[in-house]
Amino acid sequence: MLIPYFDAHCDTITEEKGLFRNGLAVDLALEQFAPRAQVFAVYGDLDIHTMEGRFDRAVSALTDLCRENKTLAFCRSAEEVRKAARKGQTAALLSVEGAEVLNCSPERLEQAAKQGLIMTGITWNHANLLSGSCVEAPERGLTELGRQYVQTATRLGVALDISHLSPKGAQQVIELASGRVLASHSNAYSLCPHPRNLTDDQFRALALSGGVTGINLYTPFLTEDDRKIRSNQTEALASVIAHIRHFVSLTPLGTKPIVLGCDFDGCDLLPAGLTKSKDMGKLYFALLDAGFTKQEVDGIFYENLLRFLQQSGKA
């Protein structure tokens, strides 16, 4: 049985190697996944990285890799993802994690959209010129420049990612760009009260606006005492499924607002048995065993994110 797979936040392009760290795209080329796609984040931390030219180098790295490896296709729209699926390729898409990568500039965002950017975060963990983050200056919402950035993304059909954003900023983005907003890698705050997770009200607002939330496998976002799920696969799967069930309970939309946002290489603490994309078949079948229908699980694993990208404007 082939498993569909589309990860909203899985891998990053490193400055050092110009390649996908951990080679996760290669994992997806295994025959068990079809169709398959994932979003690769261009991440930057002002404390350690030089932002000038960082996004351009990532575009070049992805372009070169797809040229060299015919199992990969650099996709700039939902339609190109479908085309890659028909060819049996892994669809690779670009996002920005923290608008510092684009100098927090609406003009630079416009250029990046022409280069293939499909979604943009507003902040990483640091506050910036656009907004406070969930970690730094969490009381701050969007600045005037932040509003301009959001409006530009909406006009360009670039989805807006509120993972890492301050609560006030997240609410403002949802209001400004209804149907164009996702939390690419965040879990349920009610089950694990970490500032990176979504409160019930945040998830409801996002879901009812037409957005989606990607389930994150970083264990401190799954449970406060994460030692057990790092050593016991049964407990690990149960914890992930608990977050999915909780989100399902919050909206009449059921599983439709839920996608994957595993963050495999963005963290060093992952659940037992779920440490690489090739392990995700375990979660797929665990969800079926837990009573979710195949249509629901296929939605979480692929269709929900593709549908979201189409409605957000990059059809």
pLDDT digits (tens, 9 = 90+) for 194-212: 999 999 999 999 999 999 9
Can you give 63-112 as a three-state secondary structure string? Answer: HHHHHHCCCEEECCCHHHHHHHHHCCCEEEEEEEECHHHHCCCHHHHHHH
pLDDT per residue as tens digits for the range 87-136 = 999 999 999 999 999 999 999 999 999 999 999 999 999 999 999 999 99
Q: What percent of the chain has pLDDT over 90?
A: 78
Select from 55, 70, 61, 53 the least CA-distant residue to 21: 61
Residue 191 pLDDT > 50, yes or no? yes
When divided into structural domains, the chain yields a total of: 1
Residue 19 pLDDT > 50, yes or no? no
Domain hosting 32: range is 3-312
The burial class, CB within 10 Å (0-12 / 13-18 / 19+), for 294 is: exposed
CATH number at residue 226: 3.20.20.140
Q: What is the spatial distance between Cα 278 and Cα 30, in angstroms, rounded to a whole number?
A: 8
SS3 of the chain: helix, strand, coil, percent, to 5: 40, 20, 40
User: Using an 8 Å Cβ cutoff, are 186 and 261 in contact?
Assistant: yes
User: Using an 8 Å Cβ cutoff, are 202 and 164 in contact?
Assistant: no
Structure pTM? 0.94
The burial class, CB within 10 Å (0-12 / 13-18 / 19+), for 253 is: middle
The count of residues in the chain is 315
pLDDT-based confidence at residue 50 (cuts at 50, 70, 90): confident
Question: Which structure tokens are listed for 151?
Answer: 């409006």
The pLDDT value given to residue 29:
55
The pLDDT value given to residue 48:
72
- Comparing 58-67, 136-145, 146-155, the range with the smallest average pLDDT is 58-67
User: Using an 8 Å Cβ cutoff, are 75 and 305 in contact?
Assistant: no
54 torsion bin: left (phi>0), alpha (psi -120 to 50), beta (else): alpha
User: Using an 8 Å Cβ cutoff, are 137 and 145 in contact?
Assistant: no
